[in-house]
Structure formats: structure tokens, C-alpha cells
């Protein structure tokens, strides 16, 4: 059974901006002690830590390339040293580089493979070995694995791999009381999504959703908080958090 006498602890990769930042803020508001992971912008992570601690929460910043197993082991170590253990790992870290398959730059494919696939393996392996009973690993995919928009081929290939890693790890952790799920956001107003798109493209994607708006990072954070806390019977699933985008 989950120990409810001590605060739960979460490590959020890519936690200094975008969806990751909203996840950190939501989990901190829910009473989690949070390790805010960053890859390159320590100042943003430190500012978020200061914001959380100023509001009475507990947080630290941890750095490292998610695809580097030694750097990420150190991030897990630092989290355990600060808070005594880890209950939830949320792996939001990822990059998105768009191109038609016919003209794909293979250097960009390799970059996405390293961060999105190797990074998912590194973080998932560490989580599998370090999460406490009652814990949760939450990886990130994308709704474009189903909508199949042009130019997303290489990115979607990397995220489809993340879904497969998630589904299989959930079954490999039988008996450990650890859930493993993936969240697949739809169009969400983050710098990663908005970069390189003009207003017409953005409005077109917003109108494609039955709710006729882009998602906000807070919308995605609500789903993560559900999987991180009360959703103990949701396991081995991909949750499409996309406003009904078909």
C-alpha cells in the first residue's frame, strides 16, 4: 500500500518550461515535493524552485541530458538525497523537429531519436528500479500518433516508440505496485508547439478540436496529476488529452 504519512516525491524531466512547468506547479500545489529537471536552462529551473518554496512547497533543481544515463542517475540520486525517495517520475522532456519524410535531415532524426527514444529508455529504466511501491511513471507521447499530420513523421515515429516502451514496461513491473502510463497531448499552446507556425496554422489546429481552442499546459497537468495520485487502477494506457481531436 502507498504510504500516506509522508509527502510524495516527484521528479519531472523537462520541468522548467512548457507542459513540464505546469506539471511541476500542479504537483507542488497538490503537496508533492518536486525535483525540477532541466537540460540547459538552470536559471528557469531555479526560478521555479524559488516560486514553489516561497509558496511553502519543497523543490530542488536537477540538471542533465535525459539521454545520458550517468547524468540522469545523478539527478535521481539528488532527488532521493533531498527528499528520501521517489514516488512519481514524469518524463515530459522531448524535442520536435518537423519535416516531410522525403526531405528529412537525418541529423535531425538522430537528435530526436537520442532525446525522445533513448531518453525515454534511460528515464524509464531508472524509474523502474528506483520508484517506491505505490509509484507512477508517466511518459509523454503525442496525439499526432493518431491524427497523422504531414511533416510530423519522424517526431511521431519517436513518440510511437515511447508508447511501446510504456506499454511493455507496465507489464514488466508486475507485482511492484508501480503504474506506467503515457499522456498524449493534442495541440497545446507551448513554445515547442507554436514555434514555426503562423497564425493561420495555429487557428486551423485550434478549430480542428471540437472544443475549438488549443489546449493549455494546465489542461495536460491535470491529467498527469490524476495519474500521479488517485489513478491507481489506470495502468499500461495512453491517455489522449486533446479536447476530442480525432
Enumerate residues 6+ apart whose C-beta is below 8 A from 179: 135, 136, 137, 170, 227, 231, 232, 234, 235
Query: What would the pLDDT profile of 140-171 be if each residue is shown by its tens digit?
Result: 999 999 999 999 999 999 999 999 999 999 99
Query: What is the H or E stretch that residue 112 is in?
Result: helix 106-112
Q: What is the pLDDT of residue 1?
A: 39
Q: What angle do CA 8, 240, 41 make, to 5 degrees?
A: 55
Residue 5 clears pLDDT 90, i.e. is over it = no
| pLDDT for 196 beyond 80 | no
Q: How confident is the model at residue 4 (pLDDT cuts 50, 70, 90)?
A: very low
In the predicted model, is pLDDT for residue 214 greater than 70? yes
The pLDDT score that the predictor gives to residue 201 is 84
Assess whether pLDDT exceeds 70 at residue 18.
Answer: yes
Give the dihedral sign, CA 142/147/152/154: positive
What's the mean pLDDT when you consider all of the chain?
94
CATH number of 9-239: 3.40.50.720
Q: What is the pLDDT of residues 117-148, one digit of tens each?
A: 999 999 999 999 999 999 999 999 999 999 99
pLDDT value, residue 2: 43
What percentage of the chain exceeds 70 in pLDDT? 98
Q: What's the mean pLDDT in 226-244?
A: 96
| CA dist., res. 235 & res. 209, Å (int) | 26
User: How far apart are the C-alpha atoms of 227 and 185, rounded to whole Å?
Assistant: 14
The rounded distance, in Å, linking the Cα atoms of 88 and 130 is 10
Global pTM reads: 0.94
Provide the residue ranges of all domains of the chain, joining segments of one domain with +. Answer: 9-239
In the block, residue with C-alpha cell 515515429:
157
**pLDDT given at position 195:** 78
Q: What is the pLDDT of residue 71?
A: 98
* pLDDT over threshold 60, residue 3: no
pLDDT at 50 over 80: yes
Spatial separation of the C-alpha atoms in residues 162 and 175, rounded to whole Å: 22
The answer on pLDDT for 213 being more than 60 is yes
Helix axes 119-130, 153-172, angle to 10 degrees: 20
**Catalytic residue status for 155:** yes
Taking every pair of C-alpha atoms in the chain, what is the biggest distance, in angstroms?
55
Catalytic, out of 76, 155, 193, 240: 155
Question: What per-residue confidence (pLDDT) applies to 56?
Answer: 97
Position with higher pLDDT, 7 vs 27: 27
Yes or no: say if 157 and 164 are a contact pair by the CB < 8 Å rule.
no
pLDDT of residue 190: 86
Residue 102 scores a pLDDT above 80: yes
Amino acid at each position: 500500500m502507498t504510504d500516506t504519512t509522508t509527502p510524495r516525491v516527484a521528479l519531472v524531466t523537462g520541468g522548467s518550461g512548457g507542459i513540464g512547468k505546469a506539471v511541476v506547479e500542479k504537483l507542488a500545489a497538490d503537496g508533492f515535493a518536486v525535483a525540477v529537471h532541466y537540460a540547459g536552462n538552470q536559471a528557469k529551473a531555479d526560478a521555479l524552485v524559488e516560486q514553489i518554496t516561497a509558496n511553502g512547497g519543497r523543490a530542488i533543481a536537477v540538471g542533465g541530458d535525459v539521454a545520458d544515463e550517468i547524468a540522469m542517475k545523478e539527478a535521481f540520486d539528488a532527488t532521493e538525497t533531498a527528499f528520501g525517495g521517489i514516488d512519481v517520475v514524469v518524463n515530459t522532456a522531448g524535442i520536435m523537429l518537423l519535416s516531410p519524410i522525403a526531405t528529412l535531415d537525418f541529423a535531425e532524426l538522430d537528435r530526436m531519436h537520442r532525446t525522445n527514444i533513448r531518453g525515454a529508455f534511460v528515464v524509464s529504466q531508472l524509474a523502474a528500479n528506483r520508484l517506491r511501491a505505490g509509484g507512477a511513471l508517466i511518459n509523454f507521447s503525442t496525439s499526432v500518433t493518431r491524427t497523422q499530420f504531414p511533416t510530423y513523421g519522424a517526431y511521431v515515429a519517436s513518440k510511437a516508440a515511447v508508447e511501446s516502451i510504456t506499454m511493455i514496461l507496465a507489464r514488466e513491473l508486475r507485482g511492484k505496485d508501480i503504474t506506467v502510463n503515457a499522456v498524449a497531448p493534442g495541440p497545446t499552446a507551448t513554445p515547442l508547439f507554436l514555434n514555426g507556425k503562423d497564425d493561420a496554422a495555429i487557428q486551423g489546429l485550434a478549430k480542428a478540436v471540437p472544443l475549438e481552442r488549443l489546449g493549455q499546459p494546465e489542461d495536460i497537468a491535470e491529467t498527469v496529476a490524476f495519474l500521479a495520485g488517485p489513478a491507481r487502477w489506470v495502468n499500461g494506457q495512453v491517455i489522449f488529452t486533446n479536447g476530442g481531436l480525432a
